[in-house]
Amino acid sequence: MQIHYLSEANSVLNHFLGQIRNVNVQKDSMRFRRNIERIGEIMSYELSKNLHYKDVEIQTPLGIKKTTEIQDDLVLCSILRAGLPLHLGFLNYFDSAENGFVSAYRHHYNNDDAFDIKVEYQAVPSIENKNLLLIDPMLATGQSMVAVFNKLMEKGTPKEVHIAVVIAVPEGISYLQKHLPDYCHLWVATLDEKLNEKNYIMPGLGDAGDLAYGNKL
């Protein structure tokens, strides 16, 4: 798996990453959503450097200009609900992409810390021979991402797979390396230290879905 770490050099990306972690800034859910969206836009720009392009000629009011445009057919697929603001950031840049949505959640079957992943709702276009961009803010254990990937592969074989996450930990990255094909690209805005005993990212930012859309029962 090819891994791309985006926050190693200082940029405005780190500015927004700091704000989504800040407990005082987090109180404004609209600002939290917008900052996640901005991070998605920055990640889209960086990811776009790895796409394929074709030469085109553009008619301007005064003449012809040779340039390039994206050649790949893109499918953006986010994991509900936390992935929606990040998805919007990618869609702002890849505005002609098709879109898919999948629900995945931790099912605590014994009401303790043990869980498995339930993948239920799916609304996904064909991914056959297209570039699939899997989008989720947090890569913790990696089990949700692998479960969604395996479910999507039942629908077809993409040409390329790019996985985009805002915050990841080494445990989740190792799990993806073990269970996903080597041809996948993983795009990480920032890398955190570890998982705690409840498999939450440390220091992390809390529950991205709750921060964006309010607490759930």
Task: Read off the tokens for 2.
Answer: 């090819």
Flag whether pLDDT at 47 surpasses 80. yes
Residue 105's closest CA among 117, 122, 115? 117
Answer whether 145's CB lies under 8 Å from 163's CB: yes
The confidence score (pLDDT) of residue 17 equals 98
- For 171-189, the pLDDT digits (tens) are 999 999 999 999 999 999 9
- For 103-139, the pLDDT digits (tens) are 887 666 666 666 677 888 899 999 999 999 999 999 9
The confidence score (pLDDT) of residue 121 equals 86
Task: Read off the tokens for 197.
Answer: 């005993």
Nearest-angstrom CA–CA distance, 170 and 188:
11
Give the largest CA-CA distance in the chain: 69
Nearest-angstrom CA–CA distance, 120 and 101:
10
Q: What is the pTM of this model?
A: 0.92
- For 63-105, the pLDDT digits (tens) are 999 999 999 999 999 998 899 999 999 999 999 999 999 988 7
Flag whether pLDDT at 43 surpasses 70. yes
> What does pLDDT average to over the chain?
94
